[in-house]
Amino acid sequence: MSGYVLLEDGTRFDGDYVGADVHATGEVVFTTGMSGYQESMTDPSFAGQLITFTYPHIGNYGVSQSAMESDRVWARAAIMREATNREDAPDAEAGWLDWLTDCGVPAITGVDTRALVMHIRDAGAMRGGIFPARVSEDEARQMIAAEPTMAGSDFVQEVTPETMSVHGAANVGGPLIVAIDTGIKLSIVKNFVSRGARVELHPARTPASELLDRGADAFFLANGPGDPSTLDYVVDTLRDLIGQKPTFGICLGHQLMCRAVGLETFKLPFGHRGANHPVKDLQTGKIEITSQNHGFAVVGPGGQHTLDTDEPLRWSTNVGEAQLSHLNLYDRTVEGLTLLDVPGGTVQYHPEAGPGPHDSLYLFDRFLTQIEAAA
Ligand SMILES: NC(=O)CC[C@H](N)C(=O)O
């Protein structure tokens, strides 16, 4: 069956409709990861977005339960150059296209993804959709226009759980990490649990007083979808938590912690999504190849979107001194923050690497050591 991708600026790409026979609208973004298609589709940070895969052949090792980053697909659609439903790969429990269909998620193949990505690179990520050919371009345009823009949208409301859940065994004797679940990836939870920690995931609107009453050894701020500037309710909570116990934030959590200590966020033109982003640790000078998935970033302490220095800038905040810890070497945006007077830090990238290189797993060990030292 034929179908097409339409962007809000009228750009159209034709292809073959696969997966569920329904249309999808949202923000059209691209990821350069060469693997991890299932992890990306089930990462709650992709809520509200259609993923264009730059890797030209998707589905070649199937899907499996162990690659789920949450209990469902959050991305609204997959846009691909070529797709396969291969079911006989060593770890495959199902074929990629059968799985998308069962999950009710539409997808399109045969798309000139190179041209689509170059267009988004030049024009910026924008609203768009995929549609079966029976939907007229006029109807499609109206559906796209009815979609809220990503800037200004709070998608955390959509992905945050209604009730608290606990992960990891109580009898291991490890620390209790109390997390605000703005859409956490399961591989982050697994990284904490495999290091002996217990993790509580709390709904995003849980008041600080309740979180402080949990007897936490540390607080954690998760990844998640949408525009960080809409999440004042989490930032306010955080201001009460930072300084009480070691606090670590990843991606959306980094953006919210940076906001809590006085920095602002802005929308990147087309975002960072992939598993090959070089990041410099400003203290050691070491470069990590990182996994990334974000459309917003933190404005530097001097008000710059991109930093013209490799110095670990320091400035004072409401919780004492802070220091820039990491820098993106592609576009020189802020990649991390260390709090110097209270135990805490953040990274914009994904050390859990689900999917991606394992260069940054040390950050989980470092956090656990920090928790131990503060106990
Ligand atoms: N992976 C994430 O946590 C993404 C954070 C935020 N939604 C952004 O796009 O910048």
> In one letter, which amino acid is 287?
I
178 and 133 fall within a common domain: no
Contact predicate 129/25, CB 8 Å: yes
Q: What is the C-alpha to C-alpha distance for residues 201 and 174, in angstroms, rounded to an integer?
A: 16
Residue 69 lies in a domain: yes
Q: Are residues 289 and 326 part of one domain?
A: yes
φ, ψ dihedrals at 140, nearest 5°: -60, -45
pLDDT for the residue numbered 141? 98
* Of residues 243, 224, 245, 295, the one with CA closest to residue 265: 295
What parts of the chain have a pLDDT lower than 70?
Answer: none
Specify whether the CB–CB gap between 280 and 308 falls below 8 A: no
According to DSSP H, which parts of the chain are helical? 37-42, 96-102, 113-123, 137-145, 156-159, 186-193, 208-212, 232-241, 252-260, 362-374
Please list, in sequence order, all residues whose beta carbon lies within 8 angstroms of the beta carbon of residue 139, skipping any fewer than 6 positions away: none
Strand, coil or helix: what is 66?
A: helix
Does the annotation flag 168 for ligand binding?
Answer: no
Q: How far is the CA of 60 from the centre of ligand 1 (A)?
A: 27
Q: Is residue 150 part of a domain?
A: no
Q: Are residues 221 and 346 in the same domain?
A: yes
Distance CA 169, CA 175 (A): 11
Query: Is there a domain that residue 351 lies in?
Result: yes
- Please state the atom number of ligand 1 nearest to the C-alpha of residue 254: 3
Mutating to test ligand 1, I would choose from 230, 251, 263 the residue with most ligand atoms within 8 A of its C-beta, which is 251
103 is catalytic: no
Q: How many separate domains does the chain show?
A: 2
Interface predicted TM-score (ipTM) of this complex, two decimals: 0.98
In a domain, 216, yes or no: yes
pLDDT at 219: 98
Atom 7 of ligand 1, nearest CA residue: 225
What pLDDT sits at residue 84? Answer: 97
- Length of the chain in residues, anyone? 375
- Whether residue 34 lies inside any domain: the answer is yes
Report how far residue 194's alpha carbon sits from residue 321's, in angstroms, rounded to the nearest whole number. 32
Q: Answer with the one of 145, 164, 199 that is the final residue of a domain.
A: 145
Please give the Cα distance from 168 to 176 (Å, whole number).
9
Residue 12 lies in a domain: yes
- Residue ranges of alpha helices (H) inside 242-353 are 252-260
Report the C-alpha gap between 278 and 129 in whole angstroms.
31
**171 and 134, same structural domain?**
no
Query: Known binder of ligand: residue 45?
Result: yes
Ligand 1 atom, smallest distance to 222 CA? 3
pLDDT at 198: 97
Calpha distance 102→97 (Å, rounded): 9
Looking at residue 360, which CATH number applies to its domain?
3.40.50.880
**Residue 44 backbone dihedrals phi, psi, to 5 degrees:** -60, -20
Distance 171 CA to ligand 1 centre (A): 34
Supply the CATH number for residue 48's domain.
3.50.30.20
Q: Are residues 304 and 274 in the same domain?
A: yes
Q: Which amino acid is at 319?
A: V
Tally DSSP H helices, then E strands, for the chain: 10, 20
Last residue of a domain, one of 145, 170, 189: 145
Q: Of residues 202, 251, 254, 326, which has the active-site annotation?
A: 251
pLDDT of residue 260: 98
CA 199–ligand 1 middle distance (angstroms)? 21
Residues 201 and 330 in one domain: yes
Last residue of a domain, one of 114, 145, 176: 145
Query: Same domain for 102 and 187?
Result: no
pTM of the complete model beyond 0.90: yes
Is 213 part of a structural domain of the chain? yes
Per the domain annotation, does 151 fall within a domain? no
- Sign of the torsion angle spanned by Cα atoms 68, 75, 356, 166: negative
Contact 327, 335 (CB under 8 A): yes
Tell whether 227 and 135 lie within a shared domain.
no
**What pLDDT was estimated at residue 170?**
79
124 and 214 part of one domain? no
Sign of the dihedral through C-alpha 346, 351, 354, 356: positive
40 is in an annotated binding site: no
Residues 363 and 257 placed together within one structural domain of the fold: yes
Coil/strand/helix, residue 308: coil
- Are 102 and 201 in a shared domain? no
Same domain, 174 and 314: yes
Compute, in degrees rounded to 10, the torsion defined by CA atoms 34, 39, 41, 42: -170
Phi first, then psi, for residue 96 (nearest 5°) are -60, -45
Q: What domain range includes position 309?
A: 156-374
258 noted as active-site residue: no
